Amino acid sequence: MKRFTLFFLLSTLFICLTFQTGQACTTFSFDHNGQPIFGKNYDWHLERSLVIINKRGVAKTALGDRKKDPGPFAQWTSKYGSLTFNQYGRELPIGGINEAGLVVELMSLPDTTYPAPDDRPAISELQWIQYQLDNFSKVEQVIGSDTQVRIYPGEGSGIHFLIMDKEGDCAVVEFLNGNLKYYAQGTLPVKALTNSTYAESMTYLKRHKGFGGNQFISYGSGSLDRFVRAADMLKNHDSKTQASPTDYAFDILENAAQSSTAWGTKWSIVYDIKNLRVYFRTFSNKQIQYMDLHSFDFSCQAPVKVLDMNLQVSGDMTPLFQIYTEQMNLDLIKHSFKETYFLKNTPDDVLKELSIYPESARCDY
């Protein structure tokens, strides 16, 4: 199978995913007595996913084709191991956290315009997430990576990101008018993000009671209303009276959740960054499950481990991780593509090519 076909498939996937999720998903972060907490609702029509333990010391080359983008394409060796949530294949995460405590999560943003081709190495939207988790420990490094790589342009696609590190630094990263735009520290008064630009979200927020305006808070499902509700709950967070920051994070996620069985919130994730613990629950299993990054071997020589997110259990999930196989990746990809209406006719040989793409990465001894 020619790499062009696979590259075209991924471009279509990113375009369609971001278009379809344009009215959903919520992220936020807050500090609880020096304990950085990060929350994410993933709203989509598919629930099945794998949690993947990615290794440090792995040499990688970004997936690309010169018929779509002149390149060059990014090459790197992972410095950090990470835990990621993957639905359309390994090395193409929806979000995750690395062993240094850096969290990167995406939100769809229709207003996005990625940079035009230049001499920076190119990388896809989802691989950009893996690149950041592989290489960096701090928010400022993620922002600075704009001089090192560029996301190759899609046709109608768009994603922006909320990121946080172990020091509690947080930033919104957007690509507007072909340039990276970020909000951090003094320019990020509310650490939340939905599916509108941060500037538009803040303008809308200021119309509401408690934020300078006179509008009452709405319980609508739209991007701006979800941003306001998240901002309101962040404002009311009190570390002196709220003993469990993870419980409060799940309360915010519940407040912003989409209840539809067809296009609702499929995962709710809470990252306790200081303690490197990740909590989650799914649409079909409301029990809280968790994983400690300290429990995993991130060395390149160790086998890659994966977890089926949809197991009907609770508590510590670490013992339930299995050794990754190419067949697991292929099964996930086949399910996700066949259950996504605009991708269901993708030929099996193309899905097979996508499933073996991670095998191109090698330990850099």
Q: What is the 3-state secondary structure (H, E, C) of 127-168?
A: HHHHHHHHHCCCHHHHHHHHHCCEECCCCCCCEEEEEECCCC
Nearest-angstrom CA–CA distance, 248 and 263: 24
Residue 104 makes CB contacts below 8 A (sequence gap 6+) with 95, 96, 129, 132, 133, 142, 161, 163
Structural contact between residues 140 and 204, judged by C-beta atoms closer than 8 angstroms:
no
HSE-up (13 A, CA, CB side) for residue 35: 17
Mean pLDDT by 10 residues, the chain (365 residues): 54 54 78 97 93 98 79 95 96 97 95 92 94 98 97 75 98 96 97 97 98 95 96 95 94 92 89 98 96 98 96 96 97 93 87 94 90
Distance CA 76, CA 363 (A): 11
Other beta carbons within 10 Å of 344? 9
The residues near 23 (Cβ < 8 Å, ≥ 6 apart) are 195, 221, 222, 223
pLDDT of amino acid 185: 93
Question: What per-residue confidence (pLDDT) applies to 23?
Answer: 43
Closest CA to 164 of 255, 35, 291: 35
**Segment holding 38, helix H or strand E:** strand 35-44
Burial class (CB in 10 A: 0-12, 13-18, 19+), 345: exposed
Domain boundaries of the chain, sorted by first residue: 3-191+247-363
pLDDT at 167: 97
Give the C-alpha distances (Å, rounded to integers) separating 221 from 24, 254, 317.
8, 12, 32
Cα separation, 253 vs 101, in Å, equals 21
For domain 3-191+247-363, give the fold.
Penicillin V Acylase; Chain A (3.60.60)
Q: Which residues contact 271 (CB under 8 A, 6 or more apart)?
A: 37, 38, 39, 40, 97, 103, 164, 277, 278, 279
pLDDT at 1: 43
Q: Give the global pTM.
A: 0.94
If one counts every other C-beta atom within 10 angstroms of the C-beta of residue 329, the result is: 25
Q: Are 307 and 51 in contact (CB under 8 A)?
A: yes
**Cβ atoms within 10 Å, residue 303:** 12
Looking at residue 65, its pLDDT comes to 67
Q: Could you count the other beta carbons within 10 Å of the beta carbon of residue 347? A: 11
Neighbour-count burial of 360, counting CB atoms closer than 10 A to its CB (0-12 exposed, 13-18 middle, 19+ buried): exposed
Check residue 54 and give its pLDDT: 98
Two structure tokens written together for 99: 């062993």
